[in-house]
């Protein structure tokens, strides 16, 4: 199949799309866009949303992780990412929707808050993910862009605090879905699993959230699926936010 996937290696839904391609045993051409420039680069290629993941599959532009999964499922029905039993399928679809509409936003808003509010985190981001020369200088110059990116993803102080508050219940929900067998089976993650695992891996990669994630079955599951997921250094911004300072 002729497919190109536009993504970023720090993007949780980008990894959802990658996992879906893997489950379908497809190898798209992966284009890792520099974070921050990615909306403009996608608009220039004719995509409307300017978000990753976006893909070109058999000549068609497909935008969004859910839409990419649907398109792959349509073009390559086997192995299916949904159970055959209608009740199990409905439960997997509900978990998939929650993963995309609710859970996916939590690590994104915390990470973007940390990038905007912590210079050292921004230096790391510029060096590892934005492809910028002179990361220390870029980290200073890019402050307004970092704030704009945070604002677009609910990464304001209020948004990040709210995300932190929701984490324990959200991670409990992931553990429950896993225990109920709704995230996949021995063959790999299903549609809900590919949606949810990268967001767990992103949270597990944020050093200051270790106490939230350690010992959780859902975290061990996500780490095993995504062993190379990028780790972020500790961020004073998250520490302060968590201490209520
Ligand atoms: N729910 C969408 C979210 C896509 C999304 O927001 N991606 C982020 C990166 S994780 C993005 O590209 N945001 C654009 C921006 O920052 O302007 C999906 O699953 O595809």
As a whole number of angstroms, the distance between CA 198 and CA 66 comes to 14
Of 51, 54, 98, the residue with max ligand 1 atoms within 8 A of its CB, to mutate for a pocket test, comes to 51
* Edge-to-edge strand ranges of the sheet holding 54-57: 29-32, 3-7, 54-57, 60-63
In this predicted structure, what is the pLDDT of residue 210?
87
Q: Which fold has domain 86-243?
A: Glutathione S-transferase Yfyf (Class Pi); Chain A, domain 2 (1.20.1050)
If you measure from the C-alpha of residue 105 to the centroid of ligand 1, how many angstroms do you get, rounded to a whole number?
9
* Residues 28-41 as b or e (16 or more Cβ within 10 Å = b): beebbbebbebbeb
As a whole number of angstroms, the distance between CA 24 and CA 142 comes to 38
**Nearby residues of 77 by Cβ (< 8 Å), 6 or more positions away:** none
Q: Kindly state the DSSP code that residue 28 receives in the 8-state scheme.
A: P
If you measure from the C-alpha of residue 137 to the centroid of ligand 1, how many angstroms do you get, rounded to a whole number?
26
Are 223 and 201 contacting, i.e. CB atoms less than 8 angstroms apart?
yes
**What average pLDDT does range 56-67 have in this prediction?**
98
As a whole number of angstroms, the distance between CA 35 and CA 132 comes to 10
In this predicted structure, what is the pLDDT of residue 177?
98
Q: Quickly tell me which residue has 């709210």 as its tokens.
A: 162
If you measure from the C-alpha of residue 134 to the centroid of ligand 1, how many angstroms do you get, rounded to a whole number?
26
Are 93 and 82 contacting, i.e. CB atoms less than 8 angstroms apart?
yes
Domain 3-75: top CATH class: alpha beta
Mean of the per-residue pLDDT values of the chain: 94
In this predicted structure, the answer to whether residue 130 has a pLDDT above a threshold of 90 is no
- pLDDT tens for each residue of 175-218: 999 999 999 999 999 999 999 999 999 999 988 888 899 999 99
In this predicted structure, what is the pLDDT of residue 245?
67
This prediction has a pTM of 0.94
The beta strand positions in the chain, using DSSP E, are: 3-7, 29-32, 54-57, 60-63, 184-185, 188-189
- pLDDT tens for each residue of 153-167: 899 999 999 999 999
Q: Whose CA is nearest to atom 12 of ligand 1?
A: 51
Sign (positive or negative) of CA dihedral 80, 82, 87, 88: positive
Of 12, 153, 198, the residue with max ligand 1 atoms within 8 A of its CB, to mutate for a pocket test, comes to 153
Of 13, 130, 198, the residue with max ligand 1 atoms within 8 A of its CB, to mutate for a pocket test, comes to 13
As a whole number of angstroms, the distance between CA 235 and CA 237 comes to 5
Residues above pLDDT 90, as percent of the chain: 78
In this predicted structure, the answer to whether residue 43 has a pLDDT above a threshold of 90 is yes
Per-residue confidence band for 129, with pLDDT thresholds at 50, 70 and 90: confident
- pLDDT tens for each residue of 77-108: 999 999 999 999 999 999 999 999 999 999 99
Strands 60-63 and 3-7: unpaired
Q: Quickly tell me which residue has 């520490």 as its tokens.
A: 239
As a whole number of angstroms, the distance between CA 105 and CA 65 comes to 13
In this predicted structure, what is the pLDDT of residue 105?
97
In this predicted structure, the answer to whether residue 233 has a pLDDT above a threshold of 90 is no
If you measure from the C-alpha of residue 86 to the centroid of ligand 1, how many angstroms do you get, rounded to a whole number?
30
Which residues have C-beta atoms less than 6 Å from ligand 1? 11-13, 38-39, 50-53, 64-65, 100, 104, 108, 149, 152
Domain ranges of the chain: 3-75, 86-243
Beta bridge partners of 188: 185
Q: Kindly state the DSSP code that residue 131 receives in the 8-state scheme.
A: -
Total Cβ atoms within 10 A of residue 189? 24
């Amino acid at each position: 199949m002729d497919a190109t996937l536009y993504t970023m290696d720090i993007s949780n839904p980008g990894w959802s799309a990658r996992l879906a391609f893997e489950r379908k045993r497809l190898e798209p051409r992966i284009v890792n866009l520099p974070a921050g420039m990615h909306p403009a680069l996608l608009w220039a290629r004719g995509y409307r949303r300017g978000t990753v993941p976006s893909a070109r599959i058999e000549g068609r532009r497909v935008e969004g992780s859910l839409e990419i999964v649907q398109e792959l499922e349509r073009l390559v029905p086997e192995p299916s990412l949904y159970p055959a039993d209608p009740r199990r399928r409905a439960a997997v679809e509900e978990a998939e929707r929650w993963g995309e509409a609710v859970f996916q936003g939590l690590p994104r808003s915390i990470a973007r808050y940390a990038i905007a509010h912590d210079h050292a985190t921004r230096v790391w981001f510029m060096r590892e993910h934005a492809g910028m020369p002179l990361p220390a200088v870029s980290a200073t110059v890019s402050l307004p862009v970092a704030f704009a990116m945070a604002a677009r993803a609910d990464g304001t102080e209020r948004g990040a605090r709210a995300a932190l508050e929701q984490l324990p219940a959200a991670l409990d929900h992931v553990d429950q879905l896993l225990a109920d067998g709704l995230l996949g089976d021995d063959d790999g993650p299903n549609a809900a699993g590919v949606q949810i695992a990268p967001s767990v891996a992103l949270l597990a990669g944020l050093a200051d959230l270790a106490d939230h994630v350690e010992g959780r079955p859902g975290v061990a599951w996500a780490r095993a699926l995504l062993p190379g997921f990028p780790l972020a250094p500790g961020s004073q911004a998250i520490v302060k936010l968590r201490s209520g300072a």
